[in-house]
Amino acid sequence: MAAPMYELVGVATARLRAYTDLTTLVPATNIFTKPPASYVPPYITVDDAYSIRDDMQCVDGLNVTLNIHVWTDDSHSLKVWSADSPPVKHVLGGGALQDARVIGWQVVKALHHYPLSLPTQTLVNLAHTGERVFYNSDGVTGHGVFSFEAILSVT
């Protein structure tokens, strides 16, 4: 039996890698639990989580905060297909922070209230609780943190 947060991070990462609306913006190969030491944005990390014990009578539980990080920069602006006929690929515009918001919204759509099936634990609920988008201290890298609360019944 794996640790509950280990299972949650692994299954959430797999869900993001399989979510087509997200992988049109960020390839599945750029969604990591731990990225290489140097990597070119955009990419996503699913590695930041903490838990609070939340037991009830006869039920062991965890309340987990899972933070998904989105990394972007202006040198790799997102390109998406337009609704024109025929479709045309164009830059979204708005810079690294806007790109982080667009990618992050797809992360939210992929996970918010999605019934993830954990191998040995039970996910009761997974809800998007908030987000922050800002420039890192280098002034170039866009960084979005998209927070989720997971309630787990654990064994």
**Residue 8 confidence (pLDDT) above 90:** yes
Total residue length of the chain: 155
User: How are the residues of the chain apportioned to helix, strand and coil, as percentages rounded to the nearest 5?
Assistant: 25, 40, 35
pTM: 0.88
Q: What is the pLDDT of residue 151?
A: 94
The token pair at 57 is 């009578």
**Residue 113 confidence (pLDDT) above 70:** yes
**Residue 98 confidence (pLDDT) above 60:** yes
